Amino acid sequence: MKKLSWIAENIPASPIRELVPFAEAAKKRGVKIYHLNIGDPDIESPSVMIEALKTWPHQLIPYANSQGESHLINSLLGYYGKLGFGKLASADLQITLGGSEGLLWTISSICEPGDEILTFEPFYTNYMSFALRAGAKLVPIETTIETGFHSPKASVIEKKITERTKAILVCNPSNPTGAVYPKVEMDMLLGIAKKHGLYIIADEVYREFAYDGHQPYSVLNYLTDYPEGIILVDSLSKRYSLCGARLGVIVSLNKKLMQAFLRYGQARLSAGSLDQYVAGQLDKVSDAYFQKLIKEYDRRRQVLVKGLRKIPGVVCSEPEGAFYIMAKLPVKDSKKFAQWLLTDFSDDNETVMVAPAAGFYATKGLGVDEVRIAYVLNIKALERAVVILARALEIYPKN
Amino acid sequence: MKKLSWIAENIPASPIRELVPFAEAAKKRGVKIYHLNIGDPDIESPSVMIEALKTWPHQLIPYANSQGESHLINSLLGYYGKLGFGKLASADLQITLGGSEGLLWTISSICEPGDEILTFEPFYTNYMSFALRAGAKLVPIETTIETGFHSPKASVIEKKITERTKAILVCNPSNPTGAVYPKVEMDMLLGIAKKHGLYIIADEVYREFAYDGHQPYSVLNYLTDYPEGIILVDSLSKRYSLCGARLGVIVSLNKKLMQAFLRYGQARLSAGSLDQYVAGQLDKVSDAYFQKLIKEYDRRRQVLVKGLRKIPGVVCSEPEGAFYIMAKLPVKDSKKFAQWLLTDFSDDNETVMVAPAAGFYATKGLGVDEVRIAYVLNIKALERAVVILARALEIYPKN
């Protein structure tokens, strides 16, 4: 039998999801699990979206347009218009099957095998899989908990640039660190990109999720200044609690790139028609929805940070945005600990599931005592989860 | 600015979809278009599926399991069991975002850049895009209208095998030719695959669509005989009129491969949750649904073949399965003709859209006077579409 490809052998398991079989086994034993491992919100979607399920106008589910359904595209144009980017046209948008597909296409469209993409480390773990599938290499720019995971100065970044560097990939607000990059940092990245002819790929999936007055500075602000170089990869998953609707959108003024994306889109026919019908209602979602949403996540954030900081040996920064926190735990190997939480521990028949952080780093050896915790549960559940985590750390065998 | 990748520059436009902008312009002019270009059925989905939209149990749309929702997987196990393949286990199935994703992952998992996959030509056009994205090469095995697009003898196929050949990809029943490969042909392919250690990738999306007593012989019959080598790529799109639900399934006993697919799946998080909820009702679909469905497609097939054969200069074989027909037209360049149908022609303010066939061939110069026609419209519409096509060919400028 011919062997499998290098990619099949090497595509990493998701640290967010690879422990799922252990979680399922625990559930079968009757253990309740608080899911802190995954950014799957519990907040209700805008009711107009869920109500739309009852008005699906077909007796079947036909293909959608390969670029995306015009109703959804127009709704998104309205959404970006409200944010101050009213000059976008339909042709500047391509609907994707989640932000995931958008990132995969983007990396594959600008990288030959062996090319490099700079990104702040720790980074969203699946960037690694997408890069690997394109044969590209993620080159980490180290950031640390001490500086709230913000960018080092330009010279540190520029030292990483080689002939193979094609892009800077930035997640703003950042999953997993919660860093929110303001204008000054984004201007610096733009300067570097322009100087070296690099693309900026911005993952702004958590755009609305910013707290304490922090404001992510969108790359859409640079469209006029650097039209060929800006690629926004966006998703509806988080802001409307539509993770399972698998809808993202790429925005760029780079015409050649957008034409390539349309051909990628044609090859996979379309994104989901039902999902687009549901999400196409977003033009009817009030600002109040977001205000309430962010207020709730902010409360959760405060509860979580306060709770974690009370646990002996736990170190965490205060996230400025998104809904994750990177926490150092007093354990040697957070992956073993995360598995142990599911296989060997429970408190009053309950336990927590966290994402081991090593998979969020490209640099070997980093993050092995860290976990990513998502604050996507209600306050009561979150408080209970912190108590469980504290008890677990208390009794976790030190060796 | 750094340039785009070779893939972005070379990924082909879909011949099925690239004329869509011309179609949209025609619609804006008030022209009605009969869509013969795309296999997007008009038959109602099983009502239990559409009804399920009203019982969605959440107020949001959360992620699904990366392998696929267990309800859908169990329903599919039941479906395969009914076909006589009752020994499959959950771990042998991986839900994908349409058959498209399944094909893309499969090719990427068995091919290094430069590797080759044999497939009967003409073939489903998007195989080319999926191969290109994996850096693999489709090596065509020519079939012709004269033999109903059936396989040449084994020695012809074996001559195409090189050190880089990794798999034989077969679509059974075939899109676009309608050929249905029986046991004897499939046994031959199995023999070749086993002899050379090749994978067999079978696209059996049109399994139920077979007429006149023809029966596609499923590769699932070979699971015991060749467990590592058989990869079934299936889809729910056609048989339940769920094209826009973006759900496929890969079936294989190759454990290493299935583990790789799960990691591919984790990287893109999940397939659509709503779609899986809807499709998970398939265990409630009666055999009568398929019987009625196939009877209707068979009637359409007969109407189309009869109609096409009456048009002077048109040559077509009688498809044994699927819902496409490859037809030679009395034109020099079917792409120009297909575009002209949308831009310059109408009959009583109506026209037809067809898929130019050159994109279904890897061999340059083949298929340039052919089109693929999908018989996914009701009889009345189909009859009218044939009349329109005949009139168009009558007045189409000969040069």
Tens digit of pLDDT for each residue in B137-187? 999 999 998 899 999 999 999 999 999 999 999 999 999 999 999 999 999
pLDDT digits (tens, 9 = 90+) for B109-120: 999 999 999 999
pLDDT tens digits, B192-225 = 999 999 999 999 999 999 999 999 999 999 999 9
CB neighbour list of residue A55: distance below 8 Å, 6 or more residues apart: none
Could you tell me the residue ranges of all domains in chain B? Answer: 6-44+288-395, 60-284
For residue A334, name the pLDDT band (cuts at 50, 70, 90): very high
Cβ-based neighbours of A137, under 8 Å, separated by 6 or more: A114, A115, A116, A117, A131, A164
- The pLDDT tens digits for B26-77 are 999 999 999 999 888 899 999 999 999 999 999 999 999 999 999 999 999 9
Q: What is the pLDDT of residues A292-312, one digit of tens each?
A: 999 999 999 999 999 999 999
- Residue-level pLDDT at B399: 63
Chain A residue numbers touching B245 (CB-CB < 8 A):
61, 272-274
Of the partner residues B11, B43, B245, the one whose CB lies closest to the CB of residue A272: B245
Q: B286: which 2 tokens?
A: 């009666």
The residue count for chain A: 399
Q: What is the pLDDT of residue A1?
A: 86
Whether residue B136 is predicted with pLDDT greater than 80 in this model: the reply is yes
**CA of A161, closest CA in chain B: separation in Å?**
13
Q: Looking at this predicted complex, what is its ipTM?
A: 0.95
Q: Report pLDDT digits (tens) over A207-265.
A: 999 999 999 999 999 999 999 999 999 999 999 999 999 999 999 999 999 999 999 99
Q: What is the mean pLDDT of residues B332-351?
A: 96
Residue A94 sits at φ, ψ, to 5 deg, of -135, 120
pLDDT given for residue A399 in this prediction: 62
pLDDT in the model for residue A295? 96
Is 1.10.3720.10 the CATH number for B6-44+288-395? no
**What pLDDT score was predicted for residue B1?**
86
Phi, psi of B95 (to 5 degrees): -75, 140
Query: For residue B381, what is the DSSP state?
Result: H
3-state helix, strand, coil in chain B (%, to 5): 40, 15, 40
CB–CB of B342/B26 below 8 Å? yes
Q: B378 in contact with A at a CB cutoff of 8 Å?
A: no
Distance CA(B199)–CA(B110), nearest Å, equals 8
Joined tokens for residue B111: 């091919």
Percent of the residues in chain A that have a pLDDT greater than 70, as a whole number: 100
Q: What angle do CA A215, A221, A225 make, to 5 degrees?
A: 150
Most A-contacting residue of B246, B254, B264, B360 (CB-CB within 10 A), to test interface: B246
B290: burial class by Cβ within 10 Å (0-12, 13-18, 19+)?
middle
Closest CA in chain A for residue B261: A8
Beta-carbon separation of A266 and B133 below 8 A: no
B-chain residue closest to A127, CA distance: B267
Res B17: pLDDT:
80
Whole-number average pLDDT of chain A = 96
d(CA B191, CA B330): 40
Residue range A336-351: average pLDDT? 97
Instruction: Check if B336 contacts A (Cβ < 8 Å).
Output: no
Using the Cβ of B81 and the Cβ atoms of chain A, whether some distance falls under 8 Å is answered with no
Dihedral sign, Cα of residue A296, residue A297, residue A301, residue A307? positive
Residue B277 scores a pLDDT above 90: yes
Q: Is CATH 3.40.640.10 the classification given to domain A60-284? A: yes
CA distances from B81 to B33, B49, B67, B84, B88 (A): 41, 20, 20, 5, 8
- The answer to whether B130 contacts A267, with C-beta atoms less than 8 Å apart, is yes
Please say if the pLDDT value at position A164 is more than 70.
yes
Inform me whether the pLDDT recorded for A47 exceeds 80: yes
Q: Report yes or no: B54 and B339 within 8 Å, Cβ to Cβ.
A: no
- Residue B17 to residue B215: CA distance in whole angstroms: 30
Q: Which of B50, B198, B242 sits opposite A2 (nearest CB)?
A: B198
Which residues of B fall within a CB distance of 8 Å from A15?
Answer: none
Tell me the mean pLDDT in the region A34-55: 94
CB A343 within 8 A of CB A25: yes
